[in-house]
Structure 1
Amino acid sequence: MDKLINEFSIGLFFWQLVLFIGLVLLLRKFAWKPILDAIEKRESGIEDALKSAENAKLEMQNLNADNERLLKEARAERETMLKEARDMKNKMIEEAKTEASESASKLIAQAQASIESEKKAAIADLKSQVANLSVEIAEKVVRTELSNKDKQLQLVETMLDEKSLN
C-alpha cells in the first residue's frame, strides 16, 4: 500500500479513471442494459403468465360451475323424461287393459247371444222333431188301433171317459 501511495501519479489515475468510466459506460450500454431488458422482459412474461394462469383458473372454475349446472339440468330433464315415460307406459297399460276388458265383454256378450240364439234354434228344431215324431207315432198307433173294430170302440170309450173326467 505504501508503494501505491508513493508512486501515485495523477496522469495514470486520470487514465485509469477514464478507462473505468468508459468500461462502465460500455458495460451499461452493451451488457447491463440488455441484461436489465431481458430481466424486465422475463418479469413481464412471468407476470403475464401468472395473469393468464389466474384467468385460466377463473375460466376453469366458471366452466366447472357451468358443467355442474348443465349436469343438474340434464339429470332433472332425464328424471322428468323417465317420469313421463313411466306415466305414459302406465297409461298405455291401463288403456290396453280397459280395451281388452271391453273387447272381452263384447265377445262374451256376442257369444252369449249366439249361444242363446243357437239354443232357441235347437229348441225350435227339437220341438218340431218331437211334434213330427208325435204325429208319426200317433198315426201309427191310430192305424193299429183303428185296424181292429173292437180296439176302435174301446179307444172311443176311453177318450169319452177321459173327457168326461176332465
Structure 2
Amino acid sequence: MFEVRALPVLSSMILAWAALLLLYLMLRHFLYKPVSQFLNDRKEKIKSDIDGAKVLKEEAIALRDDYESRISLAKKESQEIIESARKRGEELKEGILAEAKKEAEGIVSRARKEIAREREVAFQDIKSQAGEIAILIASKIMEEEIKIDKQKSLIDKFIDEVGSSKWQS
C-alpha cells in the first residue's frame, strides 16, 4: 500500500529544487535575457519613434505656421498690389479725361477761330460782290464810263463805312 507522508523525502525535494534551479538558470540564460533584450530594444525603438514623431510634429507645426504667415503676407501684398493698380488706374483715367477735355477745348477754340475767319472771308466776299454789283448798277444808270478802279475804291470805302456799323451792331 501507499504511504502518505506529510513531508516529502529530502532527497527528492533537493533534487526537485536543483532541477528547478537548473531550469530557472537555463530559462534565464536562454530565454529571459534574449526576450528581455528584445523587449528593451523594442521599447527603445518605440521611444525613438515617438521622439521622432514629436520632432516631426513640431516641424510640421512650424512649417504650417510659416506657410500660414506666408499666405497671410501674400494676401496682404496682393491687396496692396490691387489697391495700387486701382489707384494707378484712377490716376490714368483722370489724366486721360483731363487730356481729352484739354484737347476738346482746343478743338472748340480752333473751330471758333475757323468760324471767325470764315465769317471774315464771307464778309469780304459779300463786300466785293456788293461793290461789283453797285458798279454794274451805277454804270447802267449813269451810262458813263468811269474807271472801274476808282469806282471800286469809292464803293469799298462806302461799304466799309456802312458795313462796319451794321456788322458790329
What is the DSSP-based 3-state SS (H/G/I as helix, E as strand, rest coil) of the residue aligned with 1:5?
Answer: coil
Task: Tell me the SS of whatever aligns to 1:107.
Answer: helix
Q: CA RMSD in A?
A: 2.1
Q: 1:163 maps to what in 2?
A: none
Segment of structure 1 superposing worse, 50-59 or 126-135: 50-59
**Separation of aligned partners in 2, 1:87 and 1:73:** 21
Q: Which residue number corresponds to residue 57 of structure 1?
A: 57
Q: Distance in 1 between matches of 2:78 and 2:103?
A: 36
Q: How do 1:78-157 residues align onto structure 2 when only pairs under 5 Å count?
A: 78-143=78-143
Once residues 108 and 4 of structure 1 are traced to their aligned partners in structure 2, the CA distance between those partners, rounded to angstroms, is: 140
- After TM superposition, give the deviation of residue 85 of structure 1 in Å: 0.5
1:29 correspondence with 2:29: yes
Stretches of structure 2 that go unaligned for 5 or more consecutive residues are 145-169
Give the TM-score of the pair, scaled to structure 2: 0.75
**Cross-structure match for 1:68:** 68
**Structure 1 residue 4, shift from structure 2 partner:** 7.0
Stretches of structure 1 that go unaligned for 5 or more consecutive residues are 147-166
Mapped to 1, the partners of 2:6 and 2:18 lie a distance apart of 19
Q: Which moved more, 1:17-26 or 1:67-76?
A: 17-26
* TM-score normalised by the chain length of structure 1: 0.76
* Percent of paired sites with the same residue: 24
Q: Structure 1 counterpart of 2:104, which letter?
A: A
Deviation at 1:88, TM superposition (A): 0.3
How far off its partner does 1:3 sit? 3.6
Deviation (angstroms), 1:109 = 1.2
Determine the C-alpha separation between the residues in 2 that align with 1:66 and 1:2. Answer: 83
Please state which structure has a larger fraction of its residues in helix.
1
Cα distance in 2 for residues equivalent to 1:130 and 1:3: 173
| AA matched with 1:130 | A
Question: What is the number of residues matched between the two proteins?
Answer: 142
Taking the aligned partners of 1:119 and 1:104, their CA distance within structure 2 comes to 22
Relative contact order: is structure 1 or structure 2 higher (C-alpha 8 Å, sep ≥ 6)?
Answer: 2
Aligned partner of 2:154 in structure 1 is none
127-136 or 42-51, which moves further after superposition?
42-51
Can you list the C-alpha shifts for 1:65-119, whole angstroms capped at 9, x where unaligned?
2122112211211111111001100000000001101111111111111111111
Following TM superposition, the consecutive aligned residue runs of length 4 or more in structure 1 with deviations greater than 2 angstroms are 1-6, 12-22
